[in-house]
């Protein structure tokens, strides 16, 4: 049973990465037999992994025998950001009231020292964002927020991919994250929520512009 669970986890992680990276595009068919062979696991863990993707909203059953990767268009992204803004602005408020100021002051310094020009810098930056998110979750300390944000962040990777090569947007994002961390370190809930609001507004605008450019 444990081996089956591990195989299912591996299959899920591989399929999730393929969807988030765009290797499995919206509308791609997730054929159980084909994916099992590609991933080197049996059909049972592959079926379980696909079931988890359906539960996450990353895949959907088009018919009883056909499962496809779900679409991710401008309307989906707007809807995602509506929920993201509600959750993250409130999390920033709570973190500013409860969080360890020294932790977020250190994060602010790390954001200030980000240099996007050296090799591997973008991956390092996204790694720093993951650490920021983890510290934010820890400061909030609410399992319900954790669960909701986990789903949002799973889908967010697909949206972030659209802005990954936009260095101007990435530089602005670095500054915006620094300002959020600084506001939390200062213990100012209103400023933390406002800085988060500005960041999410700019991120959504940039992603939607990238989609428009992609179809023009």
Instruction: Tell whether 53 and 85 lie within a shared domain.
Output: no
Instruction: Tell whether 166 and 203 lie within a shared domain.
Output: yes
For strands 66-69 and 59-63, give the pairing.
Answer: antiparallel
CATH value at residue 128? 1.20.120.530
CATH value at residue 34? 1.10.10.10
Question: Which of the four pLDDT bands, split at 50, 70 and 90, describes residue 3?
Answer: low
Which residues touch 128 (CB under 8 Å, ≥6 apart)?
Answer: 107, 110, 111, 114, 177
Domain ranges, residue 83:
74-215
Question: Which of the four pLDDT bands, split at 50, 70 and 90, describes residue 180?
Answer: very high
Domain stops at, among 42, 69, 96: 69
What pLDDT is stored for residue 2 in this prediction? Answer: 54
What pLDDT is stored for residue 118 in this prediction? Answer: 84
Helix 101-112 with 121-140: angle, nearest 10 deg: 170
Alpha carbon distance 131, 147 (integer Å): 17
Q: For residue 63, is pLDDT > 70?
A: yes
The mean pLDDT of 22-38, rounded to a whole number, is 90
Could you read off the pLDDT of 97-155 as tens digits, one per residue?
999 999 999 999 999 999 988 888 888 998 999 999 999 999 999 999 999 999 899 88
Alpha carbon distance 111, 108 (integer Å): 5
Alpha carbon distance 53, 26 (integer Å): 13
């Amino acid at each position: 049973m444990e081996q089956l669970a591990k195989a299912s986890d591996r299959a899920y992680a591989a399929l999730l990465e393929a969807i988030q990276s765009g290797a499995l595009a919206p509308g791609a068919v997730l054929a159980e037999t084909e994916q099992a062979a590609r991933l080197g696991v049996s059909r049972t863990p592959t079926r379980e992994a696909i079931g988890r993707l359906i539960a996450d909203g990353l895949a959907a059953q088009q018919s009883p025998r056909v499962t496809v990767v779900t679409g991710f268009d401008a309307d989906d992204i707007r809807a995602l950001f509506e929920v993201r803004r509600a959750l993250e602005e409130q999390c920033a408020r709570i973190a500013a009231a409860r969080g360890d100021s020294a932790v977020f002051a250190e994060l602010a310094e790390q954001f200030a020292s980000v240099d996007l020009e050296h090799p591997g810098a973008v991956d390092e930056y996204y790694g720093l964002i993951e650490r920021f998110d983890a510290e934010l979750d820890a400061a909030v300390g609410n399992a319900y927020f954790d669960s909701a944000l986990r789903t949002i962040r799973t889908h967010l990777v697909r949206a972030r991919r659209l802005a990954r090569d936009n260095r101007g947007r990435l530089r602005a994002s670095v500054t915006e994250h620094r300002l959020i961390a600084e506001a939390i370190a200062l213990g100012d809930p209103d400023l933390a929520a406002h800085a988060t609001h500005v960041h999410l507004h700019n991120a959504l605008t940039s992603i939607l512009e990238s989609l428009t450019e992609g179809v023009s």
